[in-house]
Structure 1
Amino acid sequence: MATGIDLGGLAPDFTLRDQFGQDITLSSYRGVKAVALVFYPFAFSGVCSGEMHGIRTRLDEFLTFDTEVLAISCDPVYALRAFSDADGLNFGLLSDFWPHGEVSRAYGVFDERGGSPERSSYVVDKTGRLTWAVHNPKPAARSADDLLDALRAAAG
């Protein structure tokens, strides 16, 4: 199980492609929005699909003028597009495919044995600092309520 990285410091910056092939850079939100980073093992898997559906159904709470959610897996962009289209996921699904798991490793949540991120979340406040984290076993879904509470607190 991943232990993650320490809270309080600046979040490791990254640029990853979303399901539409657009580059998304974490630091572009600094000074503008708090960001929930939702690392998940695999598109189309049972628990992951359920979690992404949970975010989709509450998207108006996750995406506001002050908050953003970015879901990160090591699936290729084309798989994320198919996942997005099949499940109506209209928020950022980011591909940490190549270099494989580089961002997941930077956050201390890459499962070397399984080749995917652990089921982990971080909240980055508007100043770019890590303020909250949770690391769940792969079979255990995380709480959308806890993530929303942490995201709202970080948005200040």
Structure 2
Amino acid sequence: MTLSVGDTAPDFTLNDSDRQPFTLSEHRGSPVLVVFYPFAFSGICTGELCQLRDELGTYTDAGVRVVAVSCDPAPALKAWKTEQGFDFPLLSDFWPHGEVAKAYGAFFETAGMANRGTFLVDAEGKVAFAEVNGPGDARAQSGWKDAVAALAS
């Protein structure tokens, strides 16, 4: 079941592309945008995350930390991050496979990958925005931006 606005965001610790741990609860006091995506190096995912990279200031200027999560292993994420110049953490939900995506209701069980789930977690750890699209459905990021603007006001 997908999380809804007002739900407490499940805490998690995942390693980033440099195998450094990122724990959601350690960022309480600041909002965090958690962006799940199916696979590194795939077309739609590259387009979405490059747009996020190019518009990162929209989020960081509002005090929002951005992290992107897939079920890819850390070495693949490191190569993709380097290739694309992403300036936000890419987190690996590789093992136990997809457990964080499952906790957020953003796991596509049949294919063993994350769906396109986006969750804005507010400073208190509550979900302020939630959206889950299927793997082939690119997201419009305007909803995320509107939710960030609402938190900032």
Q: Secondary structure at the match of 1:37?
A: strand
Match of 1:126 among 120, 123, 127: 123
Q: 2:43 maps to which residue?
A: 46
| Residue ranges of structure 1 left out of the alignment (5+ in a row) | none
Q: Does 1:136 align with 2:136?
A: no
Residue equivalent to 1:37: 34
Amino acid in the other structure paired with 1:9: D
Task: Give the residue type in structure 2 aligned to 1:23.
Answer: P
Displaced runs of 4 or more, over 3 A: none
Alignment root-mean-square deviation, CA: 1.3
Number of equivalent positions: 153
Alpha-carbon separation, structure 2, partners of 1:36 and 1:125: 9
Percent of pairs identical after alignment? 45
Q: Which residue of 2 aligns with 1:117?
A: 114
Q: How does 1:84-123 map to 2 (within 5 A)?
A: 84-123=81-120
> Is residue 37–residue 70 contact of structure 2 (8 Å, CA) maintained in 1?
yes
CA distance in 2, matches of 1:126, 1:38: 17
Q: Distance in 2 between matches of 1:19 and 1:64?
A: 24
With normalisation by structure 2, the TM-score equals 0.94
Matched, 1:15 2:49: no
Q: Alpha-carbon deviation of 1:6?
A: 2.9
Q: Is the 8 A contact 1:101 1:115 kept in 2?
A: yes
Structure 2 portions without partners, runs of 5+: none
Aligned residue for 2:151, secondary structure, equals helix
